[in-house]
Amino acid sequence: MANPNSSVDVRQHLQATVFGALGDGLLDEACHLARIEHYKVPTLLCAAGQEPDYLRLVVRGTIDAIARNALGEEFSFGLITPGGWATWLNCFMETPPEHDFYSSASACFIALPAAEVRTLCERHPKLYPLVIRQIGRRMRLLLEWTGQSVLVGPLQRMAKLLYVLALEQQAQGNLATLHVTQARLASMALCSRQTANTLLGELAERGLITSAYRRFEVPGLMRLAAFADANSLA
């Protein structure tokens, strides 16, 4: 729900994004459009087949992209962490997304009307290369994950998933601390929660991650990447 009286510093958060890269004029316009949203419980933000009304910047919590098959089974294929947007691609697509977007619990977002964002880009065409770069980075990470995840064993698949999530978070200027549940990692890695628990425990034993309640830390991103890309599990 929107909260106009929130203490979130909208200008500071937007200044760290593409809206702060082209001077105060554009930043002022973006701040004028922004509203703050708080969600205490997981909430459907945009349903499959529905054109997104807002472009959302994650301040706290996450936004999860969920796909479903004909049997109603869920598959989480995109987790947007603080500093990330949901999503630039859907803001410009002519067809609505075929998946749902959900907030996590205890989440906070800065929301800008998608139609107004498109108008901003038309008035400030230098925004387009910056937006394309953001879309390209996310697409590269998604392709890296989907392309390699089918070629490795389950342990390396989980390592690769954690690496991609941590790398995306690092690109947003955040530390490699992932606030995500084992259940969500299991969904993204296409395994059971019990299997995910076993795999995460083995990665922790190898010193590649540390874990706490609903949180995972990656002490060495390159070490995790090297393990994920290795040809064997040894």
Q: Is residue 1 part of a domain?
A: no
**Shared domain check, 155 and 44:** no
What average pLDDT score do residues 1-7 get?
Answer: 57
pTM beyond 0.85: the answer is no
Helices (H) and strands (E) in the chain, counts: 9, 11
Mean confidence (pLDDT) of the chain: 86
Contact residues for 157 (Cβ-Cβ < 8 A; gap 6+): 149, 189
**pLDDT single digits (tens) 78-130:** 788 888 898 898 888 888 888 899 999 899 999 999 999 999 999 999 999 99
Q: Is residue 54 part of a domain?
A: yes
pLDDT-derived band at 4 (thresholds 50, 70, 90) equals very low
Where among 69, 100, 134 does a domain terminate? 134
**Shared domain check, 155 and 127:** no
Q: Say which residue, 165 or 1, is predicted with more confidence.
A: 165
Q: Is residue 181 part of a domain?
A: yes
**Shared domain check, 166 and 57:** no
| Burial readout 14-44 (b: 16 or more C-beta within 10 A, e: otherwise) | beebbbbeeeeebbebbbebbebbbbeeeee
Residue 53 has pLDDT above 90, yes or no: yes
58 half-sphere exposure, CB direction, 13 A CA radius: 29
**pLDDT single digits (tens) 175-184:** 667 888 888 8
Helix residue ranges per DSSP H, 125-192:
127-149, 154-171, 182-189
Q: Is residue 2 part of a domain?
A: no
Residue 144 has pLDDT above 70, yes or no: yes
